[in-house]
Structures are given as structure tokens and as C-alpha cells.
Amino acid sequence: MIRPDLLALTPDALAALANRGLVKRAVKELDAGAVPVLGTDPDGAVQGEFPDGTTTTLPPNTILDAARCSCGAAGVCRHRIAVVLAYQRTQEAGAPAELWSPGAVTDDDLTALMGERTLRRARRAFQAGYRARLRRPTAEDRTAQAELPTCTVTFLVPGDLSYVHTDAVNRDEATALAVWAFREADALGTDTVDVGGSPTTATDLTAVTDLLDQLLLDGATNASEVLDVAWQRLHRDLTAQRLHWPASVITDLLAQLTAYRRRSADYEAQRFAALLTELHARTTATGPRAEVLGFDEPAETPLRRVRLTALGARLRSAITADVFFASGDVVLVHRDTPLRTGQKLAAANVVSESATRSASRVVTLKTSRVAKTSLTPVGTSWDDLPQALVIDDYDAAAAHLADLPPRQVRARVEAELVRVVRVSEVTEVAYDPAAQRLTATLHHTSPSTQNHRSQCVLEATHRAVAPHALDALATALRANPTTITGTIRRHRGTLVVDPLAVRTDAGVVVPDLAPGTTPQPLPPGVTTSDPLSAAVDGALLVLADAAHRGLDNLTDSLLARVREVAAHLHRTGLRTAAAQVTAFADGPAAATWLRAHLRLLVTADAR
């Protein structure tokens, strides 16, 4: 009896069920001659006996960690993996199976797997609605994957639901939601789908609008602390309704007001203005609820067992950092990590049995006597990351960014645009002392794109919190890097990368966490003039000043500046933006300010 489920388990699938180290060890032992003696009983169970006497049995319709092994290891051990690999070596390669979609699974199949009670709980989440991003099987990778709001579900073996891997605690519910997402996507012929729920944001957010208008009229300079109580109450109400994105904006708004009152450098007038406009956009936009207002999921979801690959870190202050991790096709961020811990995590593989993931993709790692977190060096893990996180065609990545909706109404997730960029060559490394910016041109020739050679720009700006970052980055760029992780954006049709970490033959360098190094002599860079950017940035600065002061406190001189920037916008060809800024100058009000500022923000992102 042939076991197609065992034949379908690729090394990547086995690594998902265990870890890559165990897979490599099992392969090494098999190659060294420690091959188990295999047998198959009439029921289809594959048995393996090792030279040391260890016996392992892999019954059909049973996932590996539930199989029997006399070694006593909890979970998947190297013996179970070795039996799978040895069994595959004894079978002749047959014709490749047809590509399969989890959407083919019926509700009767799901009921047989998890029972009607569990399926009813999953249906409640379906009725509330959620968004899923799907990766379909290909000839090279026959696994199917669904990224749900709070977890990722991977179907490792076509047609066999016993080989479903997810980091969610409620595995069966997540499996059902993923199946329904594939079923909907198969019908629509798309890879991103809104499942169940209401297709539009039909939510009454009048309270948000009223408070927003009042704050805009008062400005940061005159905002009453009494009004903070109303904002906090509104935040609790939105969170209870699982409207995570506007609730998150309110959190950031209150943080900005607190920073201003404390005269902290964390307050930024342009950031304050952008948050006001984003809150307005989310309360007035119509579209998928999951994108505009938030996933109808708990604010935090516990993860059963999560494997993370660090992608670098960004210092937030002298003592805390954000550490970025790849988890399947998703990038998560560990916020406000103490510096000493961040230095350990920033270039490590992490396996945690006690972690939570928020709706905005913030992961919290905990340790206890029962559930521990282990770290190993990142090594070559960047070579095995999912293709969805990897950029090897810069032009295609820039085109993808151009197609995204405005960020003011996109899902408000952390590290949304952190990616892994493959690099063949680095040229034109330079430093602009006026802008305190290091730039370089990255080149890559990818066999997967028929040897298409593309190029993009790397930009890193000096920040006082990380004084040695640019020197460490310059040293790494001269060492022939092969991979750079960072946040990507698009400027005038070109992909731009803000680096987080660089991998060279000597290892991974995290510039923000690098110790003091010898200053690197670099050729001077040149700041190029961009009239469109200058006009938009100038207008944003003036409108931010208006919001900072409050629309009830505008002076004639400030309104004159508003008209000046409107004229500048008109001269550069941005006539619609100019008209809306002029309308605000002629009739200063919350509605005209919000309309003009939103237009400018969208224009700035589209440059």
C-alpha cells in the first residue's frame, strides 16, 4: 500500500512540522548509513526500526507528532522524520499529482474532522467576516497557505487535513476559516479575498467624527485634558466592537498629545496631523471592513508554537528596539524590546511555546517554566524564507506598491512593507552630509525572472539614537552583501529600501545595534531637486502647523502661507491639490482642512 501523504512531505513541510535542524540531522544520519529497516502493515502504517533499536510507527491519517516512537521524544523527533525520508527513498518517483485547492474540502469533511460544535464556532467568525491572503500550490511547491488576520494556516499534503500546520491555538477553527477562504477565492479567481461578513463598513462612527472635529478646532496647543476621557471611552468602545484600526489611531493620537504636554521630542506636528486625517479617512471610507476598520478578531490571539526568523531591528530609543520576524508569509514585530534582549533576538531563529499575536501583527514573547522560548543563530534561514517576503525583481516590487490602496485606508498592520531583498551587486555608495543620508544602488539578476537585471535605491538616514548605524552599514555594503532586509517604498517609479539588516559572507549585520566602528570615508552624495516633492512637503508642513495651532486659532500670516503653498502646488501642476488647499484658506473649517490634507498625503505616497 502506497502512502501518498508521506511522499508529499517535502523537506520544507517537514521543517514546518519540526524544525530545519532536525531535518538536516535526519538527512545526515541517513546518508551516513543509519537507515531504518522499513515495513508496512495491512492498514498502511509504515514502521521503521533503527540500528540502535528505536522503533517508529507512522499510521495513516495521523500527523507526525501523534505517531508512535520508542525514543520518548515529545512532538516530532528525528526518527519520525528519518522514517519519512527513508520511505520516500524506497519509492519510485511517480507522475506529479494535480494541483489541489483546499477549497475542494466540503463542510461534511470539516465536520468529520472537528465535529459540529467546533464548526459552529468557526461559522460565527465567518459570519463576522475576515480577510485572507492566499498562496496556491505550484509545480515547485505543492503546499497551500492562507494568511488569516491572527494566524497562518498551511496545508502541507494535498487533500489530507491531518497535515495542516498553523501557529494558532484553535487549529481546527483556523483550518475551517482557511478552507472557506480558498473556496471563496476559487469562485472569484483571486488570491486576496474578503470572506463572510458585510462587504462594506456600515458602522456608525458619529462619535469619532464629533471628537475629531473638536480636536482639530482646538489643535494640540489647546486640546483639553478633559476631552482625553472622552477619547479613552471611545477607544474602549471601538476595541469592544473589534474596530482595531481606528482604535489604534486614537492610541497614537493620545500619545502625541501626551508628548506635546510633556514637551517631549516624541511629539511631531506632521505626525499629529497625519493621524487626524487617517482617523477621518477610516470613518468615512467604504470598503472591506477588515481593511478599513479592522479584522473582526480578538485584539490578541495566543499562538500554540511559533517559529520565527529574525529580520533585523530598529532602535526606538537608547534602551528599546523593534525586532522584526518572519513567520510564514507574514512579518511580525516585537515592539519596545529592551536593548539587551533585542541584541540577542535581532539575528536569531526563535521557537516559542508561549507567544501572542495581535491583530496588527505585534508578537509578544513570554517565558515560563512550562512554556519556554529558545534561540539559535539565524544562519542560512534567510535562504528558505517564503517567496512572498522575498524581492528578486525590483521593478515588479515597485509596480506592486503602485497598485496598493492609500495607506490611510489599508489594514493598519505593523511591518507591512518589511521585505527581504536579494542583491547581486552594490554600486555608487555615497554619503550626503547635508541630508545626513547614505545612499547606494542595488543590482540583482534573478534566474527566476529569466535573468532580468533590475536595480533599486538603498537609503539610510542618520538618527541620533543609532550613531554608529551608517558606518556599520557602509562597511557591510562594501563586503559584497547577498541579502538586505528593510522597509520598502516607491519613489518616482523606483523601489527604495530603508535597511534593517545586511547579510554578508561574514554573517548578519544589524546597523542600528552595531557597536562603534571606524568612520568610513565615502564619496559625497548629491541631493537632487524634486519640485513636486518640495511643493507637496511644503504644503503638508503648513497644514500641519494649522492643525497644531487649531483651526479656531489661525492667524492672518498663517493663512497667507497657506495661499502661498497653494500657488506653489498650482505652478508645479498639482491643480486639484492646489484648489483644495485654496478652499481651506478661503474657508478654514475641519471639512476643508481634512479634504486638502488627505489629498496631499495620498499625493505624497504616490510620488
Pair 590, 548: CB distance under 8 Å: no
Q: What is the pLDDT of residues 480-492, one digit of tens each?
A: 999 999 999 998 8
From CA 244, how far away is CA 290, in angstroms rounded? Answer: 9
- Which pLDDT does position 325 carry in this prediction? 95
- Which pLDDT does position 552 carry in this prediction? 94
Q: What is the pLDDT of residues 438-487, one digit of tens each?
A: 999 999 987 766 667 899 999 999 999 999 999 999 999 999 999 999 99
Sort 263 into a burial class: Cβ within 10 Å, 0-12 / 13-18 / 19+. Answer: exposed
Cell 525590483 belongs to: 394
Rounded (10°) angle between helices 20-31 and 78-90: 50
Strand partners, 445: 453
From CA 74, how far away is CA 157, in angstroms rounded? Answer: 22
- Which pLDDT does position 200 carry in this prediction? 42
Pair 311, 324: CB distance under 8 Å: yes
Alpha carbon distances (Å) from 6 to 11, 87, 89, 169: 11, 8, 11, 25
Q: Pairing between strand 425-432 and 437-446?
A: antiparallel
- Which DSSP state fits 530? -
The residues of the chain scoring below 50 in pLDDT are 199-202
Segments of 423-516 assigned E as strands = 425-432, 437-446, 452-461, 483-491, 494-504, 507-509
> What is the grid cell recorded at 582?
485654496
- Which pLDDT does position 328 carry in this prediction? 77
> What is the grid cell recorded at 513?
545595534
- Which pLDDT does position 93 carry in this prediction? 61
Pair 68, 57: CB distance under 8 Å: yes
- Please, what CATH class does the domain formed by 298-527 belong to? mainly beta
Alpha carbon distances (Å) from 106 to 137, 179, 250, 511: 19, 9, 42, 50
